[in-house]
Amino acid sequence: MAQFDALTGRSWLKPLIFLGLLVLALAGGCSLIKVERIDAGNVGIKVNLAGTARGVDDITYATGWVFYSPLSTAVYEFPVYTQHKEYEEFEVQSKDGSGFGVAPSLNYFIQSDKVDDIFRQYRRPLTDIENGFLKTAVYEAYRVATNRYTADSLISNRGSYEAQVKANLLSQLQSMGFTVQQITTKLEPPASLKAAIDAKNTAVQTGLQTENRIRQAEAQARINIAEAEGRAKAIRIAADAQAYANQKQQQSLTPLLVQMRWIEAWEKGGSNVPTYTGGSGGQFLMQLPAPGAIK
């Protein structure tokens, strides 16, 4: 009887033990379940890590809220909107062996219907793909494009050079699910070539300045010549006018006019006009009237 009472007195332990086991089971089950939300503009994929679904058909698309067990399933999220990636500078060589530093910036997006193919190919998140496969593809595109140019032509044809790099990337990546939208390059020539370019630019600037000074000097010389010719022409015109005036004056000086001018000059001077004057060679003698006699 005492033994029965002891057992019935401990009967409350059974529900308590059951409740404890239930809590432990729920806690353990929750730790085996995870929840992910696939945001808009992204594509989610569920990858089976175990069981008969492993292999080629182990990837399915997922959207919205996704519940999964991390023991048997992995969920990856890939953005399908434009991504911007900048790479550190690396060196490529031109056709003539000059080394150029390039630091590319890339805008691209993943084609939404190729996300599963990309993951099957690389089995990595997008960040790892950017720093692995994409970086190698970018390097190869620059290597091939740079090798088609000499150092001088590369400097003077930056636009066509970047277009060639983009074409190389498109040929590599388009069919694999990556679409390149834009690529820009920070192109750094070698120090020796940069110094040569600077020297050439300086020489060109100096030559242009010298040509400008020569043109200015030639223009000033033409101005001086034109001014001198103008002054000489003016002097000739004045001399011709004076000669013409002298010629006309000589033609108008008849002997009678000369005598009249002579008489007028003596009268203006207030002196007596000579009574007699000789003609040319002493062959002519004329008695002049006394001053005041002619009325």
The model carries a pTM of 0.53
Q: Find, among 95, 94, 93, 125, the residue nearest to 110 by Cα.
A: 125
For the CA atoms of the chain, what is the radius of gyration?
57
Cα–chain-centroid distance for residue 86? 20
Domain definitions of the chain by residue range: 24-78, 83-189, 255-287
Helix (H, G, I), strand (E, B) or coil at 241: helix
Residue pair 168/146 in contact (Cβ under 8 Å)? The answer is: no
Residue 24 DSSP class: H
Res 26 pLDDT > 60? no
Neighbours of 267 (CB within 10 A): 12
**pLDDT of the residue at 56:** 41
Q: Which CATH class is domain 83-189?
A: alpha beta
Helix (H, G, I), strand (E, B) or coil at 100: strand
Write phi, then psi, for 255 (nearest 5 degrees): -55, -40
* pLDDT tens, position by position, 122-137: 888 899 999 999 999 9
Q: How far apart are CA 67 and CA 60, in angstroms?
A: 13
Neighbours of 209 (CB within 10 A): 10
Q: How confident is the model at residue 13 (pLDDT cuts 50, 70, 90)?
A: low
Cα–chain-centroid distance for residue 11? 88
Q: How confident is the model at residue 282 (pLDDT cuts 50, 70, 90)?
A: very low
In the block, residue with structure tokens 């000739």: 236
* pLDDT tens, position by position, 177-233: 999 999 998 888 766 666 666 667 777 777 777 788 888 888 888 888 888 888 888
**pLDDT of the residue at 181:** 93
Compute the CA torsion angle 209, 213, 215, 219 (nearest 10 deg).
150
Q: How far apart are CA 218 and CA 212, in angstroms?
A: 10
Helix (H, G, I), strand (E, B) or coil at 242: helix
